[in-house]
Amino acid sequence: MMRIPFIPEDAPFNGDQRSWLSGFLAGLHSRLSLQDVPGAAVAAGASAAALTPVNILFGTQTGNAEAVANDAAAAAAANGFTPVVQALDDVELDTFAAMSHVIIVISTYGEGEMPDNAELFWQALSADTAPRMEALSFGILALGDTGYDDFCQAGKLIDMRLEQLGAQRFATRLDCDIDFEDPAANWIAETLPKIPRETNSPNGEVASAPPAVQAPAKSKWSRKSPYPSLIAANRLLSGETSAKEIRHYEFSLGDSEISYAAGDALGVMPVNDPVLVDAFLDHLGTTADANVEGINGAFGEALLKSLEVCTPSKDFVKAVEARAKNDELSHVLNNGDKEALDGWLWGRDTLDVLRLLPAGELSAAEFASLLKPLQHRAYSISSSPLEAPDHIHLTIASVRYRTHGRDHGGVCSTFLADRIAKNGKAGIFLSPNKAFRLPEDQQRPVIMVGPGTGIAPFRAFLQERRATSATGKNWLFFGDQHKASDFIYEDELTSLSNQGVLNRLDLAFSRDQDQKIYVQNRMMENGKDLYRWLEDGAFFYVCGDATRMAKDVDQALHDVIRKFGGKSMAETDAYVADLKREKRYLRDVY
Ligand code: NAP
């Protein structure tokens, strides 16, 4: 008899993984049982061998690495392994060191940082106290973006550290760019056969793969095949005097069968601005219907829908520098000063850079070869399916600025705001973020920090808490520049307060007084209560700008715990690490 894996109660799966794996194993079981039926074809040795366990660990910020880890698990299971999928931070280092075969799927976040749910793991792995790991064999699949200097840095660091600790690679690390799906799938397919099979039968028979088993059904809509969704609402939230333009959108789910959860994000496929496309065609001395080497279909269509024509790629900037004889650009590019280069690029888009060259200097084919593919933009969903089952709401600030003598616009935010006709459609797909969820225990208090459009997932959370009549208390920290023009969703928040759903609302309008006041100032002012809520088991959520706000809010959280919990620095760090370990400190920031 083949050993049929089962999932013990305390096995480290979240609800989704558990239900998926149960279904998967049930299917596997029925297929394997078939092999025991007299007369059924049984692969040589299969009946006496056990399935080889493989641990598939992920570190994810937006859910991509987790999705790839689940794909790897499906492929591993179909190839005769027993996969166990976990977030890196859910694994103690000693447990990790005792594993035999490990696949790590990890994204890089911010400027070469570990994603939130791999941070504690990395701290332990990189410490001097990390144990030797000679018995561990591993393969790393790193996800990243070549637009960043520290491309796939998190994967590289773990790869290097495991080698230092004596672990063996069964596959060479793969560093994937934003188009990760096909390379990742190929790497998984090539890597699985390299994992040594374990034997457990007395005569050393090697387990052979059971028949292929179907992976769980995935949404039919994806980045490569988005659902054309009708924009049912597009309204301005910010006031007339606001320096910003913040809009509320409602995307119809129609017959898509997309089901979402509060905390998920929505991918939107933008279309570039035709005015910008015309400017490129003009400068390149070509036309929209031209056939260009390396481009499928008409060039104009590719510039509109397939190529990133706003953010200049590194290769493009280098190619222009080589021909432009522009001292300033040559200086910032060649002196290795990243900050100077970022400063030079700030406010310049691809057209600004192209215009450093005389018209016609770069051929259309050469130009196209230097561009990256146009990517979707992901936005945190601002509705709960319990209150908006047929629509997904988004809250988006339109990016508009004037520099270098031209008006510039954000690719997707202005596509949605300006270029979709009434009742027009946009391509969408769901980007689940299973790590960013309300507590399962509805009695738990919830603290949410979301200035600006960072309020989006918290509107969804509050709707959800109302719809489920959750008894846990809810506290929101929100702010923006001015109360008069930027207090978005004020009516809704007032209703939520009146209904007893929103128990505390602390506001920080930064520019209504001489001195800036930010959400973290409000946290400190209310630190005693905040600490008490944490002690009462509150979940602490942050959404919005990662570079400044989320770092300052993290510092404020530490300060509150130290001051109002009467703790040392080390005790405070341990308290925050526990919050993370217990998945009570969750962030949706970029
Ligand atoms: P914003 O630029 O973040 O401004 C909102 C408020 O935050 C303003 O009052 C601003 O004040 C203040 N602020 C500035 N620096 C701060 C700091 N260090 N700490 C705390 N508050 C600070 O708002 P936004 O235009 O809505 O942009 C939100 C940002 O979050 C964008 O970068 C967006 O991409 C990101 N975002 C991310 C997610 C996500 O990760 N899922 C979702 C939504 C938005 P002053 O301007 O007066 O200094």
Alpha carbon of 544 to ligand 1 centroid (Å): 6
Q: State yes or no: pLDDT of 503 exceeds 90.
A: yes
Nearby residues of 423 by Cβ (< 8 Å), 6 or more positions away: 230, 231
Whole-number pLDDT of residue 206: 38
State pTM to two decimals: 0.86
Whole-number pLDDT of residue 50: 55
> Which of ligand 1's atoms lies nearest the C-alpha of 486?
9
Domain boundary residue, one of 171, 194, 217:
194
Domain boundary residue, one of 315, 336, 369:
369
What does residue 301 show for φ and ψ, rounded to 5 degrees? -65, -40
Q: 3-state DSSP call for residue 107? A: strand
Q: Measuring from atom 34 of ligand 1, which residue has the nearest CA?
A: 545
Over residues 98-153, the pLDDT tens digits come to 999 999 999 999 889 999 999 999 999 999 999 999 999 999 999 999 888 899 99
Count of CB atoms situated within 10 Å of the CB of 135: 12
**Nearest Cα residue to 65 out of 222, 180, 195:** 180
User: 67-70: which pairs have CB atoms within 8 A and are 24 or more residues apart?
Assistant: 67/432, 68/105, 68/141, 68/143, 68/180, 68/184, 68/188, 69/103, 69/105, 70/17, 70/20, 70/216
Q: What is the mean pLDDT of residues 508-515?
A: 98
Same domain, 184 and 291: no
Count of CB atoms situated within 10 Å of the CB of 281: 18
Query: Does residue 42 form part of some domain?
Result: yes
Q: Ligand 1 pocket, 453 CB below 6 A?
A: yes
Query: Does residue 437 form part of some domain?
Result: no
Same domain, 61 and 160: yes
Query: Does residue 220 form part of some domain?
Result: no
By most ligand atoms within 8 Å of CB, the mutation choice from 109, 116, 453, 455 for ligand 1 is 453
Same domain, 289 and 156: no
Task: Report the CATH number at residue 28.
Answer: 3.40.50.360
Q: Ligand 1 pocket, 151 CB below 6 A?
A: no
Same domain, 362 and 502: no
Q: State yes or no: pLDDT of 455 exceeds 50.
A: yes
Over residues 570-589, the pLDDT tens digits come to 999 999 999 999 999 999 99
Pair of tokens at residue 45: 């040795």
Query: Does residue 5 form part of some domain?
Result: no
Query: Does residue 400 form part of some domain?
Result: yes
CB 179 within 8 A of CB 223: no
Same domain, 503 and 568: yes
Task: Report the CATH number at residue 414.
Answer: 2.40.30.10
Same domain, 130 and 254: no
Query: What is the distance between the alpha carbons of residues 305 and 226, in angstroms, rounded to a whole number?
Result: 13
* Residue 526 to residues 162, 458, 482, 496, Cα–Cα distance (Å): 43, 20, 21, 21
Same domain, 462 and 423: no
Whole-number pLDDT of residue 200: 56
Same domain, 294 and 404: no
Residue ranges making up the domain that contains 170: 15-194
Query: Does residue 439 form part of some domain?
Result: no
State the pLDDT confidence band at 337, using cuts at 50, 70 and 90. Answer: confident
Count of CB atoms situated within 10 Å of the CB of 335: 10
Same domain, 145 and 169: yes
Q: Counting beta carbons within 10 angstroms of the beta carbon of residue 456, is it exposed (0 to 12), middle (13 to 18) or buried (19 or more)? A: buried
To the nearest whole number, what is the mean pLDDT of the chain?
89
Query: What is the distance between the alpha carbons of residues 105 and 494, in angstroms, rounded to a whole number?
Result: 43
Q: State yes or no: pLDDT of 304 exceeds 50.
A: yes
Query: What is the distance between the alpha carbons of residues 307 and 295, in angstroms, rounded to a whole number?
Result: 10
Task: Report the CATH number at residue 286.
Answer: 1.20.990.10
Q: What angle do CA 438, 257, 247 make, to 5 degrees?
A: 60
For residue 478, the 8-state DSSP code is E
Q: State yes or no: pLDDT of 294 exceeds 50.
A: yes
Same domain, 282 and 336: yes
Query: Does residue 473 form part of some domain?
Result: yes
Query: Does residue 33 form part of some domain?
Result: yes
Q: Measuring from atom 17 of ligand 1, which residue has the nearest CA?
A: 549
In the chain, how many domains are there?
Answer: 4
Same domain, 451 and 418: no
Same domain, 188 and 255: no
For residue 42, the 8-state DSSP code is -
Domain boundary residue, one of 172, 194, 216:
194
